[in-house]
């Protein structure tokens, strides 16, 4: 394999400080990673942003007799009829419904969107299909309660980053296949899509940056066990496995050029276009996984965040 | 994960923080990051806006603490923590925070300045020194206005607000608003519209005569503003060969005495003068008594002090006749 792409200068300069806070990720280390302070979302008080948002939690039924699921619901005072249903990141094994909410609240402030974030059960305690079933059950409940939550059911968007991006992509596939809610769009930030973990970028970035091939193997193995990489993986677990990417809602996909997911994310966008679909793809040069969250001040991070806002603006107001 | 970045910014004044600052800017330099990335690094790590102003190359970069490019036409505050990128002070990196830099801030300034110097030398070439012939035209009252206007245009200064002429021993220079003061002997004219620079230069040349070399033989301020002279400027009209017994007394003074007399004449109090001279105030008191005896007049009364100040000013004017 040829040498990997260089990190963006500002991102590369911050990487050593980030690496100190993100120790190597192993199956045995999942419990420690969950306790670690590095991956923490905002508190209720932070979510309310000084009263701009009404924050509540609802317990809703799981799918087919599964345990109830908690939905975190943040309603702005300037609702304009849209809603984003959010699936958090964390490699399928860590994180909770609060993780990543800062960015969603920023969008909500800008566009008046209701935000619903689902607390899905994590692998390895809950292997596939538990996590995606929880996400789908929450999506069904959210769409069915649009009136109560104060949004127009035709303006429902799924969004997520990393593992949450993979889950959001899976929700779009499943809603299409199973007659679920009609979605206005899918916003997939550096999504985790392919359990096979063998693309050129996965190999090229092995041991480098954030969420390398080894960490990715841990996440997928926790979710799929021995089925990982084999013939029996559902597209609702790993959307890259879907044979048909037609008939999906417009997609926004972004990814760094210096991360494991580069090639699977580029391929996903390409296959959507080949199937006649609508996708916007941004590959940020020299970006490692989650760069815009970890180094929000860098110029390239500012541009990456701005691109999402511009896509949302066209989707919602275009 | 957002707080990872916050932690990168929240550097305490410990050894680890200094090492992290060094590693950060070394990495930027190694990957050939641009000026804005370097200034952004300084702003984010220091937690306040940072700016780079290179007046020679006309490069101005300002970034706020959140990392956003935030140009600000206002001049840099001299009280901010800052470091010179070039010895003449025409390029400065500053953190927009007043006071003496702490250890981490000093490290940020030092490492960011080093990285910025390398970028400036690599990408912007050497400072395009303003063509001296054009500057001479701009400050020349006898040059036709259209010629001066054209020269201003060529230096991109037609719309410069509050520009000043500077008189150096070697000739004229221009000082745009906000640019750092020159070093070495200089007279600074008043801020004027660009077409009035000949008047500013005339005043600057007068001010230059009041500027000292700053040596024991010629103690005094090396940079003098025409704005600060007021009626004292009229002393420049005194013929340099006019008879002045007070000056002869000064010229007979011992080598230590001139610096002592200047410090005493310039300081608000005897104690302040002693501090400036690094003498004990009683030692200075003895010297003042001795000096007054040699001069032949009391220099501790208000009128005697004025007489001393006038004599010292006349002495500088004679040393610097043009």
- Enumerate the residues of chain B whose CB falls inside 8 A of the CB of residue A10: 28, 33, 37, 40-41
pLDDT > 80? residue A144: yes
Q: Smallest Cα–Cα separation from B181: which of B94, B95, B88?
A: B88
For CATH 1.10.10.2840, list the domain ranges present in chain B.
238-319
Q: Smallest Cα–Cα separation from B132: which of B163, B161, B162, B170?
A: B170
Quick check: pTM over 0.80? no
Sign of the torsion formed by the C-alpha atoms of A75, A78, A83 and A85: negative
Q: How far is CA B8 from CA A13, A41, A251, A299, B63, in A?
A: 11, 18, 33, 16, 17
Q: How far is CA A252 from CA A13, A273, A314, A318, B200, in A?
A: 28, 12, 11, 15, 60
The tokens describing B241, both together, are 């060969």
- Enumerate the residues of chain A whose CB falls inside 8 A of the CB of residue B67: 296-299, 301-302
Contact present, B106 and B95 (Cβ < 8 Å):
no
Q: In CATH, which of 3.40.47.10, 3.40.50.10490, 3.40.50.300, 3.40.50.1820 is domain A9-317?
A: 3.40.50.1820
Tokens 């490699």 sit on residue: A91
What is the dotted CATH code of the domain comprising B238-319? 1.10.10.2840
Q: Does B15 touch chain A (CB under 8 A)?
A: no
Question: SS3 for B55?
Answer: coil
ipTM over 0.85: no
- The C-alpha of A299 sits at a distance from chain B's nearest C-alpha, in angstroms, of 7
Q: Are strands A251-256 and B50-54 parallel, antiparallel or unpaired?
A: unpaired
Least confident of A43-52, A60-69, B292-301: B292-301
How many whole angstroms separate alpha carbon A187 and alpha carbon A104? 11
State percent of chain A over pLDDT 90. Answer: 89
Average pLDDT, stretch B230-258? 85
- Enumerate the residues of chain A whose CB falls inside 8 A of the CB of residue B69: 299
How many whole angstroms separate alpha carbon B182 and alpha carbon B185? 8
A13:B41 CB<8 A: yes
Select the residue of B5, B7, B28 nearest A297 (Cβ to Cβ): B5
Q: What ranges do the domains of chain A cover?
A: 9-317
Q: For the packed helices B2-9 and A9-21, what is the interaxial angle rounded to 10 degrees? A: 100
Rounded to the nearest 10°, the torsion over CA A241, A247, A251, A253 is: 20
Burial class of residue B156, CB neighbours in 10 A (0-12, 13-18, 19+): exposed
Q: Does B47 touch chain A (CB under 8 A)?
A: no
The 3 state secondary structure assigned to A140-200 is HHHHHCHHHHCCCHHHEEEEEECHHHHHHHHHHHHHHHCCCCCCCEEEEECCCCCCCCCCH
What does the pLDDT read at residue A4? 93
Contact present, B308 and B265 (Cβ < 8 Å):
yes
pLDDT > 90? residue B42: yes
- In this prediction, residue B5 has a pLDDT band, given cuts at 50, 70 and 90, of very low
- In this prediction, residue A188 has a pLDDT band, given cuts at 50, 70 and 90, of very high
What does the pLDDT read at residue B14? 60
The predicted-structure confidence for B114-146, as pLDDT tens digits, reads as follows 999 989 888 766 555 567 788 889 999 998 999
B28:A10 CB<8 A: yes
- Enumerate the residues of chain A whose CB falls inside 8 A of the CB of residue B20: 16-17
- The C-alpha of A210 sits at a distance from chain B's nearest C-alpha, in angstroms, of 12
List for chain B the helix, strand, coil content (%; round to 5): 50, 15, 35
Q: How far is CA A45 from CA A42, A110, A296, in A?
A: 8, 20, 22
């Amino acid at each position: 394999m040829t040498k990997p792409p260089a990190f963006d200068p500002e991102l590369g300069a911050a990487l050593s400080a980030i690496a100190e806070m993100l120790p190597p990720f192993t199956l045995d280390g999942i419990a420690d990673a969950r306790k670690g302070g590095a991956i923490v979302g905002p508190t209720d008080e932070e979510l309310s942003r000084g009263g701009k948002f009404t924050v509540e939690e609802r317990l809703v039924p799981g799918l087919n007799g599964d345990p109830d699921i908690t939905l975190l619901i943040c309603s702005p005072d300037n609702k304009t009829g849209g809603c984003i249903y959010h699936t958090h990141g964390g490699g399928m094994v860590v994180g909770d419904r609060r993780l990543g909410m800062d960015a969603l609240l920023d969008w909500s402030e800008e566009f008046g969107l209701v935000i619903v974030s689902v607390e899905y059960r994590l692998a390895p305690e809950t292997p596939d299909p538990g996590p995606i079933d929880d996400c789908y059950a929450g999506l069904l409940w959210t769409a069915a309660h649009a009136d109560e939550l104060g949004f127009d059911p035709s303006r429902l968007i799924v969004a997520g980053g990393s593992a949450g991006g993979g889950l959001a992509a899976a929700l779009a596939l499943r809603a299409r296949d199973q007659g679920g809610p009609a979605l206005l769009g899918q916003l997939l930030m550096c999504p985790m899509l392919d359990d096979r973990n063998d693309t050129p970028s996965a190999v090229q970035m092995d041991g480098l940056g954030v969420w390398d091939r080894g960490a990715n193997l841990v996440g997928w193995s926790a979710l799929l066990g021995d089925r990982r990489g084999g013939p029996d993986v559902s597209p609702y677990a790993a959307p890259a496995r879907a044979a048909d990417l037609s008939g999906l809602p417009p997609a926004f996909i972004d990814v760094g050029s210096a991360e494991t997911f580069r090639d699977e994310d580029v391929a996903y966008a390409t296959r959507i276009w080949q199937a006649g679909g609508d996708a916007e793809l941004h590959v940020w040069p020299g970006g490692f996984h989650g760069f815009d969250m970890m180094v929000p001040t860098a110029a390239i991070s500012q541009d990456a965040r701005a691109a999402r806002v511009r896509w949302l603006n066209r989707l919602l107001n275009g | 994960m957002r707080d990872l970045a916050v932690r990168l910014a929240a550097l305490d004044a410990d050894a680890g923080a200094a090492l992290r600052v060094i590693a950060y800017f070394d990495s930027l330099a190694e990957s050939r990051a641009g000026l804005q990335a370097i200034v952004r690094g300084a702003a984010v790590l220091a937690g306040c806006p940072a700016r780079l102003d290179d007046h020679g190359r006309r490069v101005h970069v300002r970034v706020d603490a959140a990392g956003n490019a935030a140009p600000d036409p206002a001049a840099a505050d001299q009280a901010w923590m800052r470091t010179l990128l070039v010895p003449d002070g025409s390029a400065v990196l500053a953190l927009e925070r007043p006071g003496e830099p702490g250890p981490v801030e000093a490290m940020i300034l030092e490492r960011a300045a080093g990285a910025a110097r390398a970028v400036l030398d690599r990408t912007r070439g050497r400072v395009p020194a303003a063509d001296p012939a054009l500057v001479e035209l701009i400050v020349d009252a006898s040059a036709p206005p259209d010629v001066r206007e054209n020269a201003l245009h060529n230096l991109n200064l037609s719309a410069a607000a509050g520009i000043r002429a500077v008189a150096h021993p070697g000739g004229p220079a221009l000082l745009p608003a906000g640019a750092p003061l020159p070093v070495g002997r200089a007279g600074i004219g008043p801020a004027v519209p660009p077409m009035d620079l000949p008047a500013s230069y005339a005043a600057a040349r007068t001010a230059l005569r009041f500027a000292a070399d700053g040596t024991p033989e010629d103690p005094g301020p090396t940079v003098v503003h025409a704005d600060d002279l007021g009626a004292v400027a009229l002393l420049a009209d005194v013929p340099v060969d006019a008879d002045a017994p007070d000056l002869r007394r000064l010229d007979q003074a011992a080598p230590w005495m001139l610096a002592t007399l200047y410090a005493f004449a310039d300081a608000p109090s005897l104690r302040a003068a002693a501090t400036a001279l690094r003498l004990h105030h009683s030692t200075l008191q003895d010297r003042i008594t001795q000096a007054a005896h040699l001069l032949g007049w009391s220099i501790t009364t208000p009128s005697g002090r004025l007489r001393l100040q006038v004599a010292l000013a006349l002495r500088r004017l004679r040393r610097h006749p043009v």
